[in-house]
Chain A
């Protein structure tokens, strides 16, 4: 579905060129939940933004269904660590934003937004402003906003990192439920995280990144049975082997 060919990215800072991503080569298959793990500063968020089309690679190609990606991929959507809700719009209007950008307005947009707000459990909070919500509820709104455009591909950039441990565990379970819900259109998810356990709990496949420059150090399939648990046999061994590859 999404193919990256020899992707390089570097930033220039006051004349000095800083390499961020080095020769990234990978394919995201349809229906997979892929987690990208790596230490902070390894370029995993940059990689996600390049996949989304928010930032162009310095060199290399990104193919979406076989054709090169130019600009933001409107068949995809993204969830952010800081939630990135507009504080001056209600939850409902925030969720409708992407729909309006796609020319969908009025009752249809409202209906669609309500459906996804219901799915993430924000039923009854349509008229609330983001500032009135807890962190977990804000991220639910962020997820509803991304789902509402009914993307083929969902990107999540450390979606649970800004939440407390209990909330993030709950929301993680719910995202898994949403992902396996055949009624929802999105079955392909790419998620960035720095917590190895989180990746092993959720992913079909883990891309392990190393830093300086950022590159893919390992590409592992996770075949543990779902629903998974931290006490499952083989869980710790997998976590340990990923940890070794990062260090």
Chain B
């Protein structure tokens, strides 16, 4: 679901600069020293349920926080054009910046604020997951609110709907489809970063953060294959269980909240046909029961009166506090920005570390590695897509495979790949490309399959009746028709892979560090080994600027061109 992205370049530049400046504030070698003090126990099989519970807790907390953030920001952006001019570019940058690079900064911030205890690390991990989930959700709310048809808005207004009733009957339901759709993406993203953060803290840093990711990477680091595989199995079960018990029924239910009920795409139908385990029926019964109880509750009238009075006084309070709050946050932001700029200037004062000269080369090599992974991913996904085009029955099964593949966090398989490939078949270079590939391929396959299902059948029949051969039809019809989906998938895949660099270029395995020359390795080394603030900042800045510039200069243009040229009407 492509969102209309704003393209106010000025804001983007300012925001990237501020983000980087703020990051330098919290970077420092102290994070490393505190790490060594923590001693953790060796995990075993008995720890798996507990680890799963901890991981799930982190996911849930950060998802709820993201949801609250999304409503605040999305509502502002959709209803206040002046706020939208700042918020939308901010969301766009937040979405495309490789957040994993800022993780050491986040650890440092929370540990400084809260001391070196568990809570600091927990909040850092939750914050990292939050940064991977919230942008998407905010775009979901924004999209839901801004696509309410004008006449529907006028109708509710002419009926005199206001306040809580308006929220309940219009705003909340209108956001359900896009919010559920984006929640599924965000949730999958969250797993990816959850595992990543747990691997990072248990890998080079050695923090004690119980979770499936840390159990897995510690088990692999020790060479305990059975425990590692057990952890992966638990993770897979958990991810799939939530997918089938929560997201699929929710997605099917959310279809009721769309304005057009006819033109539902094939992909969505395929989704609806999947088992939902009878949950909607259960939910309906539960809802009726709750409603009946509520109707008979004696306190009902009083409760609703209290609720509406509370809502009213809250709204009044918010109105009164609006300007002081806005002023305070502007002052706070300005202060942080000023401190950040100052810290940046200080960190960048010569002499620069000798390694700084290697940043351009590292960036180039990382870029080439992503390209290699991209080509490899295309090499297998395009033939599979063409096969799916010729076998529509197989497409549905493949779509499920791609969805499941995309919902499993690729980071979970990093330790497996490392264990399999280390010191073999080209060693670390091969590993880092393979790790990048695992994050990339599913998004491409998923989007290509969605594209191939949208190729109109009468076009194919007309080409066949003209006597075109099968490869000619592929070349003239199927591949061009898939271009918009391919580009959408590529943008997401590239975004994910820039992130994966942080994990894939620097791996701690069996008490040895394996690394390649790349910008991800530079960031890791600067954080965990040398603690060099200037180098860390330079690599992070180079990475962020490259990613944002690449998105703006390459993907945005390709996206626009492809959508203008290859979009199927109707």
Binding site for B on A (CB under 8 A): 49, 52, 54, 72, 74, 76-78, 80-82, 84-89, 97-98, 100-102, 129, 131, 145, 149, 155
Chain A residues positioned under 8 Å from B159 (CB to CB): 77, 97-98, 101, 145, 149
Q: A74-B160, A97-B159, A98-B159 are in contact. Are A54 and B154 (CB under 8 A)?
A: yes
The answer to whether A82 and B157 have CB atoms under 8 Å apart is no
Q: A77-B159, A149-B159 are in contact. List 12 more A-B contacts (CB 8 A).
A: A76-B158, A80-B151, A80-B154, A80-B155, A82-B151, A84-B151, A84-B152, A86-B169, A97-B156, A98-B160, A100-B165, A101-B162
Q: Which residue of A lies closest to B166 (CB)?
A: A101
Q: How far is the CB of A49 from chain B (nearest CB, A)?
A: 7
**Given the complex of chains A and B, what is the CA–CA distance between A84 and B159 in angstroms?**
11
14 contacts across the A-B interface (CB closer than 8 A): A72-B157, A72-B158, A78-B154, A82-B151, A85-B155, A87-B256, A87-B257, A97-B156, A97-B169, A101-B161, A101-B162, A101-B165, A102-B160, A131-B261
Q: What are the nearest 8 A-B pairs in CB distance?
A: A84-B155, A131-B261, A98-B159, A101-B160, A78-B158, A84-B151, A88-B173, A80-B151
Q: Which chain B residues (112-161) contact chain A, with CB distance < 8 Å?
A: 149, 151-152, 154-161
Q: How many A-B residue pairs have CB under 8 A?
A: 64
Q: How far is the CB of A102 from chain B (nearest CB, A)?
A: 7
**Given the complex of chains A and B, what is the CA–CA distance between A82 and B260 in angstroms?**
12
The answer to whether B258 and A87 have CB atoms under 8 Å apart is yes
Q: A54-B157, A88-B173, A102-B160 are in contact. Are A82 and B261 (CB under 8 A)?
A: no
Most chain-A Cβ atoms within 10 A of its Cβ — which of B156, B165, B169? B169
**Given the complex of chains A and B, what is the CA–CA distance between A77 and B156 in angstroms?**
10
Q: Which residue of B lies closest to A155 (CB)?
A: B158
Chain A residues positioned under 8 Å from B257 (CB to CB): 87-88
Chain B residues positioned under 8 Å from A72 (CB to CB): 157-158, 160
**At the interface, is chain B mostly helix, strand, loop or mixed?**
helix
Query: A87's contact among B155, B156, B259, by CB below 8 Å, is which?
Result: B259
B170 is an interface residue with CB less than 8 A from chain A:
yes
**Given the complex of chains A and B, what is the CA–CA distance between A82 and B259 in angstroms?**
11
Q: A98-B159, A101-B161 are in contact. Are A84 and B154 (CB under 8 A)?
A: yes
Chain A residues positioned under 8 Å from B176 (CB to CB): 88
Chain A residues positioned under 8 Å from B169 (CB to CB): 86, 89, 97
**Given the complex of chains A and B, what is the CA–CA distance between A88 and B259 in angstroms?**
9
The answer to whether B161 and A97 have CB atoms under 8 Å apart is yes
**Given the complex of chains A and B, what is the CA–CA distance between A46 and B555 in angstroms?**
41
Q: Which residue of B lies closest to A105 (CB)?
A: B304
Chain A residues positioned under 8 Å from B157 (CB to CB): 54, 72
Chain B residues positioned under 8 Å from A78 (CB to CB): 154-155, 158
Q: How far is the CB of A151 from chain B (nearest CB, A)?
A: 10
Q: Which residue of A lies closest to B153 (CB)?
A: A84
The answer to whether B160 and A88 have CB atoms under 8 Å apart is no
Chain A residues positioned under 8 Å from B154 (CB to CB): 49, 54, 78, 80, 84
**Given the complex of chains A and B, what is the CA–CA distance between A97 and B154 in angstroms?**
14
Chain B residues positioned under 8 Å from A86 (CB to CB): 152, 156, 169-170, 173
Chain B residues positioned under 8 Å from A89 (CB to CB): 169
Chain B residues positioned under 8 Å from A102 (CB to CB): 160
